[in-house]
Structure 1
Amino acid sequence: MIRLLHTADWHLGATLQGWSREAEHRAALAQLVAIAKERAVDAIIVAGDVFDSLNPSADAQRLLYDTLRDLRAACPHARIALVAGNHDPAGRLEAPRALFEMADVMSIGAFARRDGVFDARPHLAPIRDAQGRVGAYLLALPYPRAADLPVGCESAVGAVREAYRQAVDSARREIGQGESGGESGMAPLIVTGHLHVAGGLESEGAERRILVGGEHAVPPEIFSADIAYVALGHLHRPQSVGRDTIRYSGSLIPMSKTEIDYAHGVSIVVIDDAGAVAVEHAPFSRSVRHLRTPATGALSIAELEPALQALDLDPTDPIENWPFVHLAIRVEGPAVGLKAEVDAICEKFPLRVVSMTVERPQAHTPAPTPLRLAERKPVDLFREAFEQTHGVAPTDDHLGCFERLLHEA
C-alpha cells in the first residue's frame, strides 16, 4: 500500500490588491507538511502553478525551497515531484534539476523528447513504501505548451490527447522493462496534468482558459482507464472530474472572492496492494479570514460602519492577520465621493478592503423609440446618460454645468 499527498496551485508570490499573501502561504504550507508527516505519505505531488508569476520574486523562491526542505525532513523516503503549470517559469523549474536530485526531488518544466519521440525517462519515477518496495510509478507531466504537442493533429484537444497517449505508452514500456528484472507485476501508474478538464467547475476571475488553439477544455477520457490516479492542477476548487480518480486538489488559499467558501486543502490518495484507490480531501484551517460584507445583498453607506463593528475585529492583531474584505455597497443616487467615504469608514478597523462592488436599484422603463442622433438635443442625451449611470435625474446644477461646457465647446 502507498499513500500520496496531491497538491497544486500554490501561486507563491501572489498578492491581493497589492497585499502580500506570504503569511497565508507559510501557514498553509506548514499544515501541508504536518499532514504529510502525520499520514506518513510515500509521495508528494505538486501539480503545477508553484509560482504565481513567470518571474517569481526571491521571497517566493525562498518559500519553495524552505518548503521542500521541510517536506524532506518530515518524509525522508517520500518521492517529491513538481511540475510546471501555465503560471510557472518552466526553465527555472528545470534549471536546478541537479540540485533538486541531490534532495531526491523531481522538477519537470517541459515534455522531454529524443529524436522527436517522447522520452518518458526524465518524467518517470518509482514510488516506494517505507520498506523500499515499489508500490506505483509516477509519470510527471507539466502544462503542455504548444512546443510540447505533437504536430499533425486536427485540433488542440486532439494534440493533447495524442501527447498523453504517447507519454503513457512510453511510460508503460519503461516500467515493463524495469520490472522484467524482478519487480512484481505491472505497478499502478499515477499521472499528473495541468489542464482544464471538461466538467470541472471554474473560479470566476481566478483561472485563465489555457488550452492552446482557442479550445477551452479536454475531455476526461484523454486519461485512459488503466491510469490509477490523475493528479490535476489549474482549477482552484477541490473536485473530481469524470471519475473519482481524476482529481483537482485545489489551491492552497483563496485566490479571488469567488473562492471564499472553498475548503482549501490537499488530497490524500491511498492505493492498496490490490490496486484499489481511495481519495480523501484533507482541509486546512484558514490563517486569515476572507469576508464578504454583507454575506448577501448590499449595504448602504449608513449601514457600513455598524456592519464592520459587528465583525468584532481585534485591533491588536498584526497587519498580516487582518482579514481581507470584499464589500458590496448599495447606492441610490450619484456615487461621486463614494470611495472616499468608504475608505474613511474602513480606516477605523483592522481590515484590508480588496474589492468593492456598487449595486444600484434596477429601473424598469419602457424601451425608447429609436431616433436618429440628429433629432436629439444634446441636453436630452446628457440627461439620459446621467440617469443610466447614477439611477437618478441630474439636478439643475448638473444641467447648468453641462450647458456651460456645451457653450464653450
Structure 2
Amino acid sequence: MRWPGRATRTREAPPGVSGTARIGRRGAGGADAAYLRRLGPGDVAVIDQVDLDRATATALLEAGVVGVVNAAPSISGRYPNLGPELLVHAGVTLVDDCGAAIFSDLADGTSVRLHDGAVHVGEREVVRGFAQDRDTVADLLEEARGGMAAQLEAFSANTSEFLARERSLLVDGVGVPAVATPMREKKVVVVAGSPGTAEEVRALKGFIREYSPVLIGVGEGADALRDAGHSPAIVLGTVAELDPVVARKARDVVVPADPDGFVTGLPRLQDLGVDPVAFPSSANPEDMALLLAHAHGAALVVAVGFDASLGGFLDRGRSGSIPSTFLTRLRLGPTLVDAPAVLALHHSRVSILTLVMLVLAVLATAVVAALALGAGPSLVLLLETGGRAVAQWATAVFRSVVG
C-alpha cells in the first residue's frame, strides 16, 4: 500500500557494465574457436592473451560481448596490434592486465560488474586491472610503433630458422600428402577463417559459379563456405578447429602433424567418422593449404581471408606464422592471387550470361519488329540478317572481354 504524501525511492543502478563472465583457458595465449563460440550477447569475456589481435577482437564483437577482462596486457608494446582499438571504439569495456588471479577468483557463469578498472561480484571487488579507453589505447599504440624494428629483426631470424627446418617442403614439396581431389591445371580457392571472410566468400559467388574451382576450407573457413552454400572439396585444420559435419562431407580431410606424423586428438576425429590424412609441417594451417594446392599443380590459387600486409603479419597473434606466410607466398609466386584482386578484375568483366541475355533481347526485338511488319518472307529474312549481326557483335565483345 502506498501512503499519501510519502516519496517513493528509486534505487539507482550501480555504475559500470554488468554481464555474465565466460572464462577462457588460463595461459592459452589466446581465445580459441571453441571458447569464442560459447560467447553470446551480454557476456563478459575473460581471456589471457598478450597483444590482443584484430581477429580475436572482431570475433568478440560479433559475439556481442559487453566487456573483456584480460589477465595479460592487451598491448605489450612489441608492435601496434589492432584488437584493443576495435573494442574500445565499439564501446566495449576493456579491463586490462588483471593477472592470473582472475581465473581462480572468478567462476564461469558468475554475474560481474566492470567499473573503473575493477571486476566486482555483487558489492565485492574481485580483482583490479587497468581500464583502457580510446586515449590510453592510442597512447600505447603510438609507443608500440617503436617496437616494429625489433619485430622485423626477429622476423629475419625466424625466417632463416623456418627455411632451414622446412627447406624440403618449400623447395621440393616433400611431406605434402596425397589427396583424392584433382587440382592439376585447375583454379583453387583457399578460404581461411578471419574477419571479413564471410563477405569475401559471398562476393566471390559469381567467380565460383563461373569457374567451378576446387574449394579448400581451412578451419573456420570451411564453415564460411558452408554458410555461403558451398561444399568444400578439402578441409584442413587442427582436430579442435574442424566441424565433423563439414569434414564428413568433404572428399579429403587434412590435419597438421608434428615431424613424426603424430596428430593430436586424431582418435576423437576418427570416432566421429572422419579419417584424415596427416600433413607434417610447422607451417600454419592456412599456408599448408596453399602449399597443398601448389604441390598438386593448381593453375591459380585464390586466397580468401588472408591479410598479407606487414600489419597483418604482425597482428596474426602467432609470431611463428610470419615466416611461414612470407616464404609460402614466395614459393607460390604468380600462382597466388588474393581475393580482393580477383573481385576487382572479375566484377569489371562482362559475364557470358550477360552476353547471352543481350543476344536474346536483341533477337526478341527482331521478332517483334518482324511480326509488326507481317509474317512471311520478311520475318525469315529479318531473323537471318539480325541473327548474323548479333552473333558477330557478341563474338567481338566476347573476344575483347576474355582475350
Q: TM-score when scaled to structure 1?
A: 0.24
- Which is helix-richer, 1 or 2? 2
- Which is strand-richer, 1 or 2? 1
